Structure 1
């Protein structure tokens, strides 16, 4: 497998081993996951800060890291501003409506609510089947994205990397339960932030800072604010983000199993609501970082007067960020391994 230095493999292996170690640690700490409440709900004693970070990373996958750069490269900044508005509206809606509704019920599974509401186990089972199917379809794409990037860079086959990722995530979850999931999420978020900030700093040096990045992006006509038009034929409008993005993500943050299980495992309703509210500044910072990287990637190729997609260096705009990282960090041993750890951090959940 050509394309990576041994240091890259070492860093990537370290990332996987730490994720597994967190699961092992929580399997032998506390009550050692002896009870269902401890394993699934962490004894409903989760602290706010790690739960906030876990909620944040639960829905920020490799798709977003790679896709935001592709969006900027192809269409511009319009989605950036719209996403911030959509996420803010969604989280406020979930915090106001869903959390005060769900938390007092002290559910283990959100699908229990269906049985309570309709007095039917069949409805609960059907809801659970649909929820599991939706989760499998989502996680399939989040695992596939970094596997393709690894395949393109090293020749390591996706058919092998996908089961490795699935095995690692399943193992640390099965060993350490909810606490292992929460703290692995925190560790993986730290990895993602380190990598994204490193790309940002190195990219700024290449294009003359953030002001230089926006200058080149403006030259290319990619600095676009959101539209307030009611024309449904427009690709993106503020109303689409508020009513489309906002309502769908309100459901995800407020009523999807991955979210309800986390905020329901906190100590009080106040903590549960705070977990969602604190996600707003975290989302704003995270989304801005990944989209800003997209602006810098665009600026770099505008400055070089090079279009990798047009030249055939890449097959899709989704490959633009990995291609950019491979160029600017070509002489930096170990960073490619860190970058793949970033992408895998968005999948191991």
Structure 2
């Protein structure tokens, strides 16, 4: 009888382990995902997802990564050097494409024998409409899982973190960051709910890199303007995430606040290039100088946002990242400085790195131009 009892307990333990090793979930494209066993080999569509992996597994972000479409250096060259210094094996991760969906080699992905491929709903790589690629990968034994930090980050950042944490067995680290993210989001929402006066805002992408003036509206970080208590002037005239507007449009609309994404690198700044630059290696003075240089070369000097010291810029790479919560804090502070005077997005970013990331952070990631 005792032997029978032990046998029964052993059977129950085996069954519970079997259940724990099977993952049944839904990805961000609404697809049912079933994975047998723990995930030891996986690929990512963009190297920038290594920042997400750094949050989830700071002890070794590249553990289990067998391939990616692009390297981290495409968008985060300074962080890539820190990654290589700390985790040299990252240098050997194969790539299966370049910077676009049509550059991806399905054959190379299949050769990597990944159990899972994390793809973005709408990134530079293959998206959820790439039916042939999805079918071929899944037929080869690679489960395709869609995440999203770019198309609708307000809605999808938390579910994407939760999904990746579940699949990679990093639920605890994922939940720690989700709790912080939700706390910051709730604080902004609660204060904005009491604000009646909402300034008009133009959110311009790649300031100084692209022609004037590409604006964000219905997608990406565009909805952050409304969430932070502003009115995005591009919403009424530009269906879709981004659209090109004329300088005359800005002069006529005359927004109360102008915000630009800064996609310049320090090497470009050092060479005198025009793209607005903030980020690694940039001091506060350099960042403001870069923004001021751009604004002085356009008709922006005539709009109230510039004349009233309400023109700002932030690091472009926040737009496809779980760090987007610090952008929401920055928007709220820029739009409603009195209501959010106790909020410091730069301090938030540095605290996130200290508490969650295996790397230190340097540089300036937000700036404001002070009109002369």
Same fold? TM cut 0.5 = no
**TM-score normalised by the shorter chain: which range applies?**
under 0.3
Structure (1/2) with the larger strand percentage:
2
Structure (1/2) with the larger helix percentage:
1
TM-score by length of 2: 0.22
Q: Which has the higher contact order (CA 8 A, sep 6+)?
A: 1
Structure 1 or 2, whichever has the larger Rg, is 2
TM-score by length of 1: 0.23
